[in-house]
Structure 1
Amino acid sequence: MQALTEAYVDSLAPNAAAIKNGWGLVRKNQFQNMHRSADGTLLFGECKGSGKNPYLTSADFIGGQPVFRCSCPSRQFPCKHSLGLLYAYINGAAFSEAPIPEDIAAKREKAAVREEKKKDQTKSQKKPNKAALAKKLKAQLDGLQLLEKQISQLLSAGLASMSPRKLSQLEETAKQLGNHYLKEAQNELRDFTLLWGKKLPEERLYQIAYEKLILLHTLCKKGNAHLERRLEDENLTPDTSSSIEEWLGHTWQLAELKELELVRPDVRLAQLSFSSSRHDARKEFIDEGIWIDLAGGELFCTKNYRPFKALKHVKEEDSIMEVLGTNELFIYPGEGIRRVRWNEYSFHGKPDLTELKGLARVNVAEVIKEVKNLLKLPLADKHPVAFVAYERVGLADGDWQLEDRQGQRLSLVEGPEEGCNSLGLLKLLPEKYTRNGAMLVRFYPDLLTGRLGAQPLAIITEDRHIRLVG
């Protein structure tokens, strides 16, 4: 069992309420008969509940990541009793050594048998059904052609021609795209139609709408060409050099990424920023973390999708302030900052901020050039992030600017999300934090003015890590 820390236990909790309730049980001394197995892989004990008999709860680390078991009726996983047991342990409560209970030993044996069956099934797994896959690809082609027809008509007529009838027609098209296995295109088209209900200034409305139409039009062109190539390929090989597969609805599995050698061993990451946003078109909340590889400074992102209908059952992610280590980092195909995932992980204390600050890019001009090149890629993220060192941050001619050691400047802007006020937070910073630091920024190109600005997300100095969005 790895050394447990409060941050690690917090990361296992499904939500903030579970953390609070778990600690509440510890403070009220609700736990009794707490034990630890001789090999240190199992913690178990009893927790007083509302009934006559206490709940039997445990945390089993035999496989590395904990398996929680509890006799309580809670549907929350892990429940407050399991979390409280771990909090009691790290809080220094007495855990006596005891044999592993027979019921847990039996469950371990059954789990081992299931794992062996999974391995055998993987080894004997049949090759993909090429006929079924080809049928799906053809259905996607038909869906893209349907979407392309709608988008071409709209581009020809102009955005000023948009009417309730046309919006209704586009919403019906979005529904049909789901039947053609084009979930991402469906979400983007829904997002486009929802713009007309946000009461945006006309100039801003048309700018965002035009950007989305261009994206959808590009997806149709690129998607058609890609699907036709795959249908001509005898092995129907997926593309791992770009994000096109994900745009066309492919869900990458970890085993698949590993087989394609999209995995990096023994990586240590530090989270630079974390935010959670609501996406009405997707009907989901998206938790996004921006991470940096402490070995070389490469940036990655994590995304956790929480459907509105399943918020109680999908764990909400949170900020992580400690170094996260994993023996296998799975990396998704894509352009720019790539998405990553991991299975097993451990925490290794807070990062050295001087070391972290030293990983920032020192030349603003080079960063801007790379961002502009990335923005030219049709399906790349249009709001890329970068970690940039600065000599100073401050107001110049009424605008916030970041300046590097060479005197090159980057304009700082507010993000378009409602309620975001990171520039306002800059005004509250003590002057020492506006000198000789590093800033994580997200770029926002303005098609109307041609200006490229960046929203501050986080600041790293030698003694502070300041997160400006959440």
Structure 2
Amino acid sequence: MLTFTEEYVDSLAPNASAVKNGWGLVKKNQFVVLQKSEDGSVLFGECIGSGKNNYLTSVDFFGETPTARCTCPSRQFPCKHSLGLLYSFLNGANFTTAPIPEDIIAKRAKAAVRREKKKEQPTNTHKVNKSALTKKLKAQLEGLDVLDRQLQQIVRAGFASIDVKKLKGLEETAKQLGNYYLKELQNELREFQFIWQQNLSEEEIFSLAFEKVLLLYSITKKGKEHLTKRLEDQALVPDTGTSIEEKLGHIWQLAELREQGMTKTDVELVQLSFSIIKSDARKEFIDLGVWLDLADGQLYFSKNYRPYRAAKHIKEDDSIFPVASIKELFIYPGEGNRRIRWEEYQLGPAPQTKKIISMAKQNVTEVLKQVRGQLRLPLADKYPVALISFSKVGKVDEQWVLDGKDGTRLTLTNGTPAEIDTLSIIDLLSNQDLVDGAMLVQFYHELGTGALSAKPLTMITPKRIVRLLG
């Protein structure tokens, strides 16, 4: 089954116009034939064009990177017809199953020969089309200027001035950001809009809006600095020290991460938490897993994005309870809990709960210090997770608290009003589950008071693992 996102397709486009024109073909129903191979490795079809005959276009996922082919005269690769084919798939169009065309099979064979010859050449350099990349970076800078002006208007007028008309204007700005290759910022701005659509108090709305504006401003400021430096650098080297590339819409390929040394080998992971987030602002399902590395105790995130309109085409992640053995683990650039990905894994025995507890942080005070340090980083996740060892979990004045091994007390919370209530599930656990164990928590920062609280995600006892998110 094919698994790719709209952001990934956008990253293949030679320019913003190609993205717009590709979607234009979909909206105008220009594709008269849409087909896919039985193994899902190739999409192909026919598109009405300006010529007498329909254009035959295809995208082949047989190799390491997709190969787009089309009979149109365009010199852009991929052309708008190939991009439109991919967007049609993401848009949920009906692709009938058909045999792979003979010409594609023949071209695959020739490509295989070229790959074998390439392997014999002593080079590991990742080739970059510098001209196309330069154009993209300049377009992104223009998009950041558009967003910067919008943010300044919001700050000058104040949150109280935001009404239906201004929210509609923000949607127009969000659409523009997509044309500037700033898909992630487009999503962030739409999440800002969505705050006003939730059933929240004015205080809660303004608090969430302030947090989102700070993030948008930070990405805009650092994004401008970063893109300017990259344009001045003839090597055009991507930043692997922070998450700025991803914030600006870069889709990291596994080959890139491997080339940059962002991998670990022979890793054993335990999934401590799994949830599916329904984001109406992004119009996506997000399959979110939290994983523990059994070698060094590091916590990681796995994320699988499934746009609403393409959800039936993208395989949904699932809960995994046994130990997962991974030959090559890919680690995304970022701050705090890093995102991970892999190509394949093998399931082993059930995890040993006592080993997991032994890897939990004993010093709650030190954890809080690290969390506050992460929150000060402009681009870092504002809801970090930690695995904390506890001596006891219980209620004090009707408030759930965690007492750490170092004597520090941590207030527990349910997070935002829209989130799943996990504290009520703790009420159902036995007293034995509430002593001498470990808890996976997600931190929340109260902007007004500066206080930190933690949402329980998973309880690990000497005998079992209790996932509170279901």
> Which category describes the TM-score, using the shorter chain as reference length?
0.7 to 0.9
Q: 1:205 to 1:112 in 2, by over 3 A?
A: same
1:128-171 deviation digits (Å, cap 9, x = unpaired) = 12111111101100100110011011111110111222111111
Match of 1:320?
A: 320
TM-score by length of 2: 0.75
Deviation at 1:343, TM superposition (A): 1.2
Deviation at 1:113, TM superposition (A): 8.6
| Residue type at the aligned position of 1:276 | I
Structure 2 matches for 1:33-432, cutoff 5 A? 118=115, 120=117, 127-416=127-416, 418=418, 420-432=420-432
C-alpha distance in structure 1 between counterparts of 2:466 and 2:220, whole Å: 41
Deviation at 1:441, TM superposition (A): 0.3
Q: Greater CA radius of gyration, 1 or 2?
A: 1
1:242-279 deviation digits (Å, cap 9, x = unpaired) = 00000000000001100111111110111111010011
Q: 1:440 to 1:113 in 2, by over 3 A?
A: farther
Q: 1:319 to 1:162 in 2, by over 3 A?
A: same
Q: 1:294 to 1:119 in 2, by over 3 A?
A: farther
Unpaired stretches in structure 1, ≥5 consecutive residues: 1-11, 15-56, 58-74, 76-109
Q: 1:112 to 1:350 in 2, by over 3 A?
A: farther
Q: 1:305 to 1:115 in 2, by over 3 A?
A: farther
Match of 1:39?
A: none
C-alpha distance in structure 1 between counterparts of 2:439 and 2:385, whole Å: 10
Q: Is the partner of 1:312 in helix, strand or coil?
A: helix
Q: Is the partner of 2:436 in helix, strand or coil?
A: strand
C-alpha distance in structure 2 between counterparts of 1:287 and 1:417, whole Å: 20
Q: Is the partner of 1:311 in helix, strand or coil?
A: helix
C-alpha distance in structure 1 between counterparts of 2:396 and 2:117, whole Å: 65
Q: 1:437 to 1:133 in 2, by over 3 A?
A: same
Match of 1:21?
A: none
Q: Retained in 1: the 8 A contact 2:422–2:468?
A: yes
Q: Percent identical across equivalent pairs?
A: 50
C-alpha distance in structure 1 between counterparts of 2:147 and 2:366, whole Å: 38
C-alpha distance in structure 2 between counterparts of 1:139 and 1:285, whole Å: 29
RMSD of aligned residue pairs (Cα, Å): 2.5
Deviation at 1:116, TM superposition (A): 6.1
Q: Is the partner of 2:175 in helix, strand or coil?
A: helix
Deviation at 1:182, TM superposition (A): 0.3
Q: 1:347 to 1:119 in 2, by over 3 A?
A: farther
Q: 1:235 to 1:400 in 2, by over 3 A?
A: same
Q: 1:193 to 1:241 in 2, by over 3 A?
A: same
1:73-96 deviation digits (Å, cap 9, x = unpaired) = xx9xxxxxxxxxxxxxxxxxxxxx
C-alpha distance in structure 2 between counterparts of 1:222 and 1:199, whole Å: 33
TM-score by length of 1: 0.75
Q: 1:194 to 1:225 in 2, by over 3 A?
A: same
| Residue type at the aligned position of 2:375 | L
Match of 2:453?
A: 453
C-alpha distance in structure 2 between counterparts of 1:174 and 1:277, whole Å: 22
Match of 1:468?
A: 468
Deviation at 1:114, TM superposition (A): 6.8
Q: Which moved more, 1:453-462 or 1:394-403?
A: 394-403
Q: Is the partner of 2:313 in helix, strand or coil?
A: coil
Q: Retained in 1: the 8 A contact 2:126–2:256?
A: no
Q: 1:457 to 1:117 in 2, by over 3 A?
A: farther
Q: How many residues align?
A: 369
Q: 1:436 to 1:136 in 2, by over 3 A?
A: same
